[in-house]
Amino acid sequence: MKKILVTGMILIVAAAAHGQDAITRFFDKYSSDQSFTNVNITGRMFGLFTDLEMEDEEDQEVMDAISKLKGLKILAKEDTDRGKELYREAFSLIPKNEYDELMSIRDEDNDMKFLIKEKNGKVSELLMVMGGNHEFFILTLFGEIDLKQVAKISKAMDIDGLEQLERLDKDN
């Protein structure tokens, strides 16, 4: 019985880590390629925001939300003919049963999807993938995520693309 319990626990932990591992493998595959822009912000950096005091209540809410983040990774490639191919490759690695789609946007040149990993009503990861005729972009934001604050966080950190999440409030 003990062996079954231990084996079960190992499988649960492995399954939980699988989604992030797939995304990490994608980042690792291209992070050393000099033609990609690669950004990695650690939880330590986000933690530095907890020391800042804001005069405005809304700004303080954003700082509090930022302080709960554990990391941000961005991988982007501009001026490429492989944007759509990279988009499909990234999605082939994302476990469909672990992520829920929040929103998808298609315009004449680009496809963009926002996905979240949620457990017990708490969002632990936001994933944004965009592929176009001449560009590719993937972003993973992980930690304790307040989706209502993500657009404001992106504005404060000047992260292109996340402002699209403002549409969620308008649509709901």
pLDDT tens-digit series, residues 62-85: 777 787 889 989 999 999 999 999
Calculate mean pLDDT across residues 110-134.
Answer: 90
**How many C-beta atoms lie closer than 10 Å to residue 152's C-beta?**
20
pLDDT of 160 reads 63
**pLDDT higher than 70, residue 154:** no
pLDDT of 16 reads 40
Distances 138 to 6, 53, 66, 108 between C-alpha atoms, Å: 36, 31, 19, 19
For residue 129, what are the β-bridge partners? 113, 138
Size of the chain, expressed as the number of residues it contains:
172
pLDDT of 155 reads 67
d(CA 170, CA 10): 42
